[in-house]
Chain A
Amino acid sequence: AQKITQTQPGMFVQEKEAVTLDCTYDTSDQSYGLFWYKQPSSGEMIFLIYQGSYDEQNATEGRYSLNFQKARKSANLVISASQLGDSAMYFCAMREGLDSNYQLIWGAGTKLIIKP
């Protein structure tokens, strides 16, 4: 079974609109962390935001926020006021356990294209 599922292979969004990228996860661990990364066409992977399983509040970082619904096992990335530079691949990843002894498990990614 897939541990990380990103159901949207691709999305088109009008510039300045908000966009939600879906991520659902599967784990029986109580301690885990969820990460989102952005990969522009240049190929680099850019860390965006993190949510720990014990964090009571949704993580926010500038225009990025994470809609964390623990009971539904979803950790959707919300980008407010989208910009042309947001066009990229976005990957959701999970670590089961909270320290570096555990590897990141990666989703398949969502390709986001922002239309002018």
Chain B
Amino acid sequence: SAVISQKPSRDICQRGTSLTIQCQVDSQVTMMFWYRQQPGQSLTLIATANQGSEATYESGFVIDKFPISRPNLTFSTLTVSNMSPEDSSIYLCSVEYYAGVPLRTDTQYFGPGTRLTVL
């Protein structure tokens, strides 16, 4: 499977500031996703980021708050803008590709996550 890295692994930020999270994959993939996981909760999809097109945001997430870039097939960034304590979460990027035998399905693999605390 692909090796996915994220930077930073964790950060503590002041309210009102912005943080950009990087996601790097060691192979070219079309489908990349950004998720938020609030404390004690399950994953919530923020947006789908495909290279060469605008990111597609899920209900409740807007581009002004979570701008995403996808400049090539191995890299993406998510910015959390004008942060508030409610943005304190783990942010995860994932990539999806056809996993081949024996799975024979599109499977998502995740990066290590970015643990964000907003004071």
Q: What is the minimal beta-carbon distance from A19 to any residue of chain B, in angstroms?
A: 20
Residue B8 CB within 8 A of the other chain: no
CB neighbors of A among B96-112 (8 A):
96, 99, 103-112
29 A-B residue pairs with CB within 8 Å:
A35-B107, A42-B112, A42-B113, A43-B37, A43-B90, A43-B92, A43-B113, A43-B115, A44-B110, A44-B111, A44-B112, A45-B43, A45-B92, A47-B108, A47-B109, A50-B99, A50-B103, A52-B104, A52-B105, A91-B42, A95-B106, A98-B105, A100-B31, A100-B96, A100-B106, A104-B45, A107-B42, A108-B41, A108-B42
Assess the B112–A99 pair: CB atoms within 8 A: no
Residues of A whose CB lies within 8 Å of any CB of B are: 33, 35, 37, 42-47, 50, 52, 91, 95, 98-100, 103-104, 106-109
Interface pair B42/A47, CB less than 8 Å apart? no
A106 to B92, CA, bound (A): 14
Quick check: B105 and A33 within 8 Å, CB to CB? yes
- Establish whether residues B107 and A47, one from each chain, have CB atoms under 8 Å apart when the complex forms: yes
Bound-complex Cα distance A99 to B96 (A): 10
Taking CB atoms, residues of chain B closer than 8 Å to A99 are: 106
Q: How far is the CA of A91 from the CA of B37 in the complex (A)?
A: 12
CA A100 – CA B96 in complex, angstroms?
8
Q: Which residue of A lies closest to B105 (CB)?
A: A33
Shortest C-beta distance, B50 to chain A (Å), equals 10
In the complex, residue of chain B having the shortest beta-carbon distance to the beta carbon of A9? B40
